[in-house]
Structure 1
Amino acid sequence: MKKVLIFLTSFLVLYAVLQIGSGLVLTALYTPDIAGAWETSTALSSEVSFGGGFTYFSLIFLLIAALLAAFVSKFFQKKY
Protein backbone atom coordinates (compact mmCIF):
# COMPACT_ATOMS: atom_id res chain seq x y z
CA MET A 1 0.00 0.00 0.00
CA LYS A 2 2.89 2.33 0.75
CA LYS A 3 4.32 1.78 -2.75
CA VAL A 4 1.02 2.67 -4.35
CA LEU A 5 0.66 5.86 -2.32
CA ILE A 6 4.20 6.95 -3.18
CA PHE A 7 3.57 6.24 -6.86
CA LEU A 8 0.22 8.05 -6.96
CA THR A 9 1.50 11.06 -5.06
CA SER A 10 4.59 11.42 -7.21
CA PHE A 11 2.52 10.86 -10.37
CA LEU A 12 0.03 13.59 -9.50
CA VAL A 13 2.74 16.05 -8.50
CA LEU A 14 4.83 15.38 -11.60
CA TYR A 15 1.82 15.57 -13.92
CA ALA A 16 0.77 18.89 -12.40
CA VAL A 17 4.31 20.25 -12.71
CA LEU A 18 4.50 19.16 -16.36
CA GLN A 19 1.14 20.73 -17.18
CA ILE A 20 1.98 24.01 -15.44
CA GLY A 21 5.43 24.08 -17.03
CA SER A 22 4.09 23.47 -20.52
CA GLY A 23 1.43 26.12 -19.97
CA LEU A 24 4.08 28.64 -18.95
CA VAL A 25 6.21 27.80 -21.99
CA LEU A 26 3.27 28.05 -24.38
CA THR A 27 2.18 31.33 -22.82
CA ALA A 28 5.69 32.76 -23.11
CA LEU A 29 6.00 31.70 -26.75
CA TYR A 30 2.55 32.91 -27.83
CA THR A 31 2.66 36.04 -29.94
CA PRO A 32 -0.70 37.19 -31.25
CA ASP A 33 -1.02 38.60 -34.74
CA ILE A 34 -2.52 42.01 -34.09
CA ALA A 35 -2.78 42.91 -37.78
CA GLY A 36 -4.73 39.79 -38.67
CA ALA A 37 -6.89 39.70 -35.56
CA TRP A 38 -9.80 41.64 -37.07
CA GLU A 39 -9.66 40.37 -40.66
CA THR A 40 -12.54 37.95 -40.20
CA SER A 41 -14.68 40.25 -38.05
CA THR A 42 -17.03 41.03 -40.94
CA ALA A 43 -18.18 37.43 -41.27
CA LEU A 44 -17.99 35.82 -37.85
CA SER A 45 -19.45 32.36 -37.62
CA SER A 46 -22.29 31.70 -35.23
CA GLU A 47 -20.77 28.42 -34.06
CA VAL A 48 -18.96 28.35 -30.76
CA SER A 49 -16.03 26.02 -30.33
CA PHE A 50 -15.69 24.66 -26.82
CA GLY A 51 -12.08 23.54 -26.87
CA GLY A 52 -10.23 21.38 -29.31
CA GLY A 53 -10.25 17.68 -29.87
CA PHE A 54 -7.99 15.10 -28.35
CA THR A 55 -4.31 15.90 -28.62
CA TYR A 56 -1.46 13.51 -28.14
CA PHE A 57 0.40 16.02 -25.98
CA SER A 58 -1.74 15.16 -22.96
CA LEU A 59 -1.06 11.46 -23.52
CA ILE A 60 2.67 12.15 -23.81
CA PHE A 61 2.59 14.14 -20.56
CA LEU A 62 0.73 11.28 -18.87
CA LEU A 63 3.35 8.76 -19.99
CA ILE A 64 6.27 10.98 -18.97
CA ALA A 65 4.70 11.60 -15.56
CA ALA A 66 4.05 7.87 -15.10
CA LEU A 67 7.64 6.96 -15.98
CA LEU A 68 9.06 9.62 -13.68
CA ALA A 69 6.71 8.53 -10.90
CA ALA A 70 7.86 4.92 -11.33
CA PHE A 71 11.49 6.02 -11.00
CA VAL A 72 10.68 8.14 -7.94
CA SER A 73 8.83 5.28 -6.26
CA LYS A 74 11.73 2.89 -6.99
CA PHE A 75 14.14 5.46 -5.56
CA PHE A 76 12.15 5.77 -2.32
CA GLN A 77 11.79 1.98 -2.02
CA LYS A 78 15.56 1.51 -2.16
CA LYS A 79 16.23 4.37 0.22
CA TYR A 80 13.70 3.55 2.95
Structure 2
Amino acid sequence: MKKYVVFILNFILLYIVFQILSGLLLTALYSPNFSSINNNMSQEVAFGETSIIPFLGTILVATLAYFLSQKIVTSNNK
Protein backbone atom coordinates (compact mmCIF):
# COMPACT_ATOMS: atom_id res chain seq x y z
CA MET A 1 0.00 0.00 0.00
CA LYS A 2 2.95 2.32 0.63
CA LYS A 3 4.00 2.00 -3.04
CA TYR A 4 0.50 3.01 -4.11
CA VAL A 5 0.46 6.12 -1.91
CA VAL A 6 3.88 7.19 -3.20
CA PHE A 7 2.74 6.56 -6.78
CA ILE A 8 -0.49 8.56 -6.42
CA LEU A 9 1.24 11.47 -4.65
CA ASN A 10 3.90 11.63 -7.37
CA PHE A 11 1.22 11.38 -10.05
CA ILE A 12 -0.79 14.23 -8.51
CA LEU A 13 2.31 16.40 -8.19
CA LEU A 14 3.32 15.78 -11.81
CA TYR A 15 -0.27 16.39 -12.96
CA ILE A 16 -0.39 19.77 -11.20
CA VAL A 17 3.02 20.80 -12.54
CA PHE A 18 1.98 19.79 -16.06
CA GLN A 19 -1.27 21.78 -15.79
CA ILE A 20 0.56 24.90 -14.59
CA LEU A 21 3.27 24.68 -17.24
CA SER A 22 0.79 24.05 -20.05
CA GLY A 23 -1.30 27.01 -18.86
CA LEU A 24 1.76 29.25 -18.83
CA LEU A 25 2.78 28.09 -22.30
CA LEU A 26 -0.71 28.51 -23.77
CA THR A 27 -1.00 31.97 -22.23
CA ALA A 28 2.42 33.03 -23.52
CA LEU A 29 1.67 31.83 -27.06
CA TYR A 30 -1.88 33.20 -27.27
CA SER A 31 -2.45 35.94 -29.80
CA PRO A 32 -5.94 37.47 -29.89
CA ASN A 33 -7.78 38.07 -33.14
CA PHE A 34 -8.44 41.82 -33.08
CA SER A 35 -10.23 41.85 -36.44
CA SER A 36 -13.29 40.14 -34.95
CA ILE A 37 -13.74 42.64 -32.10
CA ASN A 38 -16.66 45.05 -32.41
CA ASN A 39 -16.51 48.68 -31.38
CA ASN A 40 -19.02 47.84 -28.68
CA MET A 41 -16.60 46.30 -26.19
CA SER A 42 -17.90 45.48 -22.73
CA GLN A 43 -15.80 45.81 -19.62
CA GLU A 44 -16.86 42.44 -18.22
CA VAL A 45 -14.48 39.55 -17.91
CA ALA A 46 -15.92 36.05 -18.00
CA PHE A 47 -13.96 33.07 -16.78
CA GLY A 48 -14.93 29.48 -17.40
CA GLU A 49 -16.35 27.25 -14.74
CA THR A 50 -14.12 24.68 -13.10
CA SER A 51 -14.93 21.13 -12.11
CA ILE A 52 -13.09 18.52 -10.08
CA ILE A 53 -14.59 15.66 -12.15
CA PRO A 54 -11.74 15.49 -14.75
CA PHE A 55 -9.14 15.44 -11.95
CA LEU A 56 -10.97 12.64 -10.14
CA GLY A 57 -11.29 10.70 -13.40
CA THR A 58 -7.55 11.06 -13.96
CA ILE A 59 -6.82 9.79 -10.43
CA LEU A 60 -9.16 6.84 -11.02
CA VAL A 61 -7.39 5.95 -14.27
CA ALA A 62 -3.99 6.24 -12.55
CA THR A 63 -5.21 3.94 -9.76
CA LEU A 64 -6.46 1.37 -12.24
CA ALA A 65 -3.19 1.56 -14.18
CA TYR A 66 -1.19 1.05 -10.99
CA PHE A 67 -3.16 -1.99 -9.84
CA LEU A 68 -3.22 -3.54 -13.32
CA SER A 69 0.53 -3.12 -13.65
CA GLN A 70 1.04 -4.68 -10.20
CA LYS A 71 -1.18 -7.62 -11.19
CA ILE A 72 0.74 -8.14 -14.44
CA VAL A 73 4.10 -7.98 -12.64
CA THR A 74 3.02 -10.48 -9.96
CA SER A 75 1.52 -12.87 -12.54
CA ASN A 76 4.76 -12.79 -14.58
CA ASN A 77 6.86 -13.58 -11.48
CA LYS A 78 5.00 -16.85 -10.81
With structure 2 as the length reference, what TM-score do the two structures score?
A: 0.51
Match of 1:63 in 2: 60
Q: Which runs of 5+ in 2 are unaligned?
A: none
- Residue 51 of structure 2: SS of its match in structure 1? coil
How far is 1:65 from its partner? 2.6
Match of 1:33 in 2: 32
Structure 1 vs Structure 2 CA RMSD = 3.4
Contact 1:11 1:66 in 2 (8 A): yes
The whole-number CA distance in structure 1 between the counterparts of 2:61 and 2:20 is: 16
| Equivalent residues, number | 66
The whole-number CA distance in structure 2 between the counterparts of 1:69 and 1:15 is: 13
Does residue 5 of structure 2 align to residue 5 of structure 1?
no
Change in Cα spacing, 1:5 to 1:17, as seen in structure 2 (3 Å) is same
The whole-number CA distance in structure 2 between the counterparts of 1:23 and 1:65 is: 19
Contact 1:15 1:61 in 2 (8 A): no
The whole-number CA distance in structure 1 between the counterparts of 2:54 and 2:20 is: 12
How far is 1:24 from its partner? 1.7
**Same amino acid, percent of matched pairs:** 12
Q: What does 1:11-50 correspond to in 2, within 5 Å? A: 11-30=8-27, 31=30, 33=32, 35=34, 39-41=41-43, 44=44
Q: Which runs of 5+ in 1 are unaligned?
A: none
The whole-number CA distance in structure 2 between the counterparts of 1:20 and 1:66 is: 19
